[in-house]
Structure 1
Amino acid sequence: MNAVQTLSQAIEQQGGQCFQVGGALRDELLGLSNKDNDLLVTGLAAQTLLDILPGKVGQVGLSFEVIKVTLLGETVDVALPRAGQTLEEDLWHRDFTINALARNSRGEVIDPTGGLQDLHHRILRMTSPAVFDQDPLRLLRAVRFVAKLGFDLDEATRATLIQKVHLLQNVAPERIQEEWWRLLSCSNADHVLKALRLARDTGLLVQVFPEFAPCIGFEQQNPHHHLTVDEHIFAAVHHAVQHQKSLRTRLALFFHDIAKPECFSVGADGVGHFYDHEYVGAKTTRQILTRLKCSNDTTLTVTSLVRNHMRPPLRPSRRALRKFMNDLGEAWEDALEMREADLAAHIVPEGFDPVAWAVQIREEGRTMPAVATFDERQLALSGHAIMEAFGVTGEGVGRLKKLAVQQVIEGELENDPEAILQFLRSQV
């Protein structure tokens, strides 16, 4: 028996009833995989339940209402109905009908809200308008479920989401961050695109990211772009999801052109330009990620990706590619993936394939010596040797070392003491 079966047997032997609930049941009914295990128990008091549960019991929730059990290598969340409620009443208080299903140990599904029918018709429907007042994060979860499942919101749920979207301002930024990251982590590109458009059209996107507002419907007036700024961003994210790019690449793509409206100008030829939008966008991205309480590592990396999203050039020299790799460090392949996705959302020359281009650049980059973390400490010529050879001290030594390091990084100089000395003699 697995952990769920073992727990169910132990609970029912003591006179309780055990029901499988939550996302695992929903996804199983849809033929999807889900590693979560959630059980709802009726007919037993909290302390009795704690006393009879096998396995390791930990992280007990407030008032013993949620118990986390580790058994047979699995972790199962065991919950009691909300205080004083029946099983059906508890299910009615869940967020969406497709999550308000329960299955007993005999395989019978309890469905008080019509969730089975909504699963069949691929509809996401709230159990009641009050669920968003109880936890406003459910507004964002609705969009995330669209990204995961590709379902359509029924009209009443969509209207309620628009009406109550302002409630998200009361949600802790860490929770918003986690939910949005989960949305962008979903694996179906068409579903993610559908969710992004839903977030935009309901006002949720601007509620969470007010900096995005000027991008919506902004015409780029540029021969390389056939999409508005928001649709271009969405198309780039779509490509990244479709080609299984990393989450930080997807995050950076979501922010990469956020400063375009702010940096827009029109040339004498009537063509739109966006000078320095990558630098302004990096600053805006850093502000957003800081507001969402992201880790320093995520903030620094994603900001760097946004700042460098127009690199490398389409035909980089080895020197330019070497510098690109060194500037990005271990994130250079994420930056290349980002450039690929950005190009895929452009109008590109006939016959140009961004995916094939990125493969070629990646292969060339991987043949280069590892210099991404190269600095003065790794220079083959010591500061003392430079002092003796050139009669300099302090800042003079530092200047010469920096010259040599830059040449090594750019692939113009071998990291060899004699080669470095010969180069520096030509510079003094």
Structure 2
Amino acid sequence: MTENYNELKILIAGGSVRDLLLGKTPKDLDYLIASGTAEKFRAVFPKARPVGKSYEIFYLKGLEFSFPRARGNTIEETIDLDLKARDFTVNSFALAEDGELYAHPKGLEDLHNRILRPSFPDSFKEDPLRIFRAATFLARFPEFKPHPELIEEMKRCSSSGWLADIAPDRIGVELRKGLNGPKPGNFLRLLIQGDCLEPWFTEFSGADGIPAGPPEYHDKSVVGHTAEIMDKVAGDQLTCWMAMCHDLGKIFTPPEMLPSHYGHDKAGTAPAKNLGSRLMLPVKFIRAGETAAELHMKSGNYNELRPGTKVDLLMKLHVSGLLENMINLCHADRGEGVLEHAPADLAAILKVSLPAHERNLGKKSGEKLRNMRAMKIKTFSGSRKRI
């Protein structure tokens, strides 16, 4: 086994080396097997699980080991060819066991300048999913800026129709990674900049030209406002998704109604569902997106609602488990104080129960319970005003 191992040259490669060069601890370590065969690798690591189609990849204990995409006449040439065939220059590094660093010709320069650019002109043609990986990258590393070559190649990819055949669940995975970043709005901003909304994020097409609302309330387009709110709720993936969906209805406002968007809450529920379903997101996300679109306006006006309407809203958010998410969304969208009293009101109405003789009477029992809960909130509101 030692003899076989000596025939294998294994290096740390890709984004893990980038993170090390940035002084960060890599979340995942990926490895490049620069010399040796798959048979020899499996002889040394018999528990390695093969995956991959276009080139050989193995998984072992959660780590990825890949063979080169192309081979040269020497190990060094093989490593160079592999790095030049990766997605982005700042991901095109390899680190040998002895500390020797291999880099794409533009890798160190782009890393120093915090620039994201494709490793080679046909990077997106070879794998169009890399466009969404670029969007995820800028959401995770907002200090980086897209190079003009990146935008140019995104537009070429989009106009050539190469995005259409990507497996939707893979795009959904990239989106969720981006929603976990410190500036998730960059995911949407890059897709717009590179004309890559179609066919997966079609609901946002044209949104950069639609005002988010009257000038006294909004100074951005719908998509500009959406990206801004996504950034404000960064740190919670599900709330970021809700922020992405909350104003989708505004995109479908008839032009003669602009810059107002009456009824955009109800108009946004179907687009939110369609977007989440198209990307094959978990059911929890799809429902959260619908809820954000449908209830964000009512939630934002919570203090002005009638007690019965408050009860209905609170119970919907409670049953869906989204009250805290909606509080954070409305805080970002409307400012502090929105839904301030909602948690206390919910706790109070959940303690209200029907007398035994008024239970199990169908709709009549439901109406009675709602009225009792509304009265509880009314009493609560009155006591707060007296204070």
Query: Unaligned stretches of 5+ in structure 2?
Result: 73-77, 378-387
1:34 alignment partner, SS class: coil
1:228 and 2:208 correspond? no
Aligned to 2:341: 361
Q: CA RMSD in A?
A: 3.0
Q: What's the offset of the Cα at 1:201?
A: 2.1
Alignment partners' CA distance in 2, 1:78 and 1:90: 13
Alignment partners' CA distance in 2, 1:305 and 1:363: 18
1:167 alignment partner, SS class: coil
Aligned to 2:273: 286
Alignment partners' CA distance in 1, 2:26 and 2:113: 21
Q: 1:240 aligns with which of 229, 233, 244?
A: 233
Q: What's the offset of the Cα at 1:273?
A: 2.9
1:413-424 paired onto structure 2 within 5 Å: none
Bigger mean CA deviation after superposition, 144-153 or 124-133: 144-153
Q: What's the offset of the Cα at 1:297?
A: 2.7
Counterparts in 2 of 1:42 and 1:194: CA distance versus 1, 3 Å: closer
Alignment partners' CA distance in 2, 1:234 and 1:135: 26
Q: 1:174 aligns with which of 169, 172, 180?
A: 169
Alignment partners' CA distance in 2, 1:407 and 1:88: 72
Instruction: After superposition, give the CA deviation of every residue in 1:227-283 in whole Å (9 maximum; x if it has no partner).
Output: 222222122112112xx3x2222112112212214335768xxx8432211111011
Q: 1:81 aligns with which of 61, 68, 76?
A: 68
Aligned to 2:294: 307
Q: What's the offset of the Cα at 1:174?
A: 1.0
Counterparts in 2 of 1:381 and 1:132: CA distance versus 1, 3 Å: same
Counterparts in 2 of 1:89 and 1:83: CA distance versus 1, 3 Å: closer
Alignment partners' CA distance in 1, 2:270 and 2:230: 20
Aligned amino acid, residue 238 of structure 1: D
Q: 1:68 aligns with which of 59, 62, 65?
A: 59
Instruction: After superposition, give the CA deviation of every residue in 1:366-403 in whole Å (9 maximum; x if it has no partner).
Output: 653547xx9xxx855267x77xxxxxxxxxx3232222
1:260-339 paired onto structure 2 within 5 Å: 260-264=250-254, 272-312=259-299, 313-316=301-304, 319=307, 320-329=309-318, 330-339=321-330
Q: Is the 8 A contact 1:11 1:17 kept in 2?
A: no
Aligned to 1:259: 249
Instruction: After superposition, give the CA deviation of every residue in 1:153-210 in whole Å (9 maximum; x if it has no partner).
Output: 22222211112124212211111111122222212x3xx4444333212212354322
1:315 alignment partner, SS class: helix
Q: 2:366 aligns with which of 367, 386, 402?
A: 402
1:110 alignment partner, SS class: strand
Alignment partners' CA distance in 1, 2:116 and 2:63: 26
Aligned amino acid, residue 322 of structure 2: A
1:345-384 paired onto structure 2 within 5 Å: 354-355=335-336, 357-358=337-338, 360-361=340-341, 364-365=344-345, 367-370=347-350, 380-381=355-356
Alignment partners' CA distance in 1, 2:155 and 2:115: 17
Q: Is the 8 A contact 2:14 2:91 kept in 1?
A: yes
Identity %: 24
Aligned amino acid, residue 331 of structure 2: E
Q: What's the offset of the Cα at 1:364?
A: 3.0
Q: What's the offset of the Cα at 1:136?
A: 0.4
Aligned amino acid, residue 254 of structure 1: M
Counterparts in 2 of 1:265 and 1:83: CA distance versus 1, 3 Å: closer
Alignment partners' CA distance in 2, 1:11 and 1:88: 26
Bigger mean CA deviation after superposition, 316-325 or 296-305: 316-325
Aligned to 1:157: 150
1:144 and 2:136 correspond? yes
Bigger mean CA deviation after superposition, 311-320 or 251-260: 311-320
Counterparts in 2 of 1:156 and 1:408: CA distance versus 1, 3 Å: same
Q: What's the offset of the Cα at 1:363?
A: 5.2
Alignment partners' CA distance in 2, 1:11 and 1:62: 29
Bigger mean CA deviation after superposition, 60-69 or 161-170: 60-69
Aligned amino acid, residue 381 of structure 1: A
Structure with bigger gyration radius:
1
Alignment partners' CA distance in 1, 2:255 and 2:7: 73
Alignment partners' CA distance in 1, 2:329 and 2:59: 39
Q: What's the offset of the Cα at 1:90?
A: 1.6
Q: Is the 8 A contact 1:97 1:114 kept in 2?
A: yes
Instruction: After superposition, give the CA deviation of every residue in 1:54-86 in whole Å (9 maximum; x if it has no partner).
Output: 7x433554599222112xxxx321222236452
Alignment partners' CA distance in 2, 1:59 and 1:406: 58
Q: What's the offset of the Cα at 1:333?
A: 1.4
Alignment partners' CA distance in 2, 1:184 and 1:11: 46
Counterparts in 2 of 1:58 and 1:370: CA distance versus 1, 3 Å: farther
Aligned amino acid, residue 245 of structure 2: F
Alignment partners' CA distance in 1, 2:342 and 2:22: 38
Counterparts in 2 of 1:261 and 1:112: CA distance versus 1, 3 Å: closer
Counterparts in 2 of 1:366 and 1:42: CA distance versus 1, 3 Å: same
Alignment partners' CA distance in 2, 1:163 and 1:154: 15
1:109 and 2:101 correspond? yes
Aligned to 1:341: 332
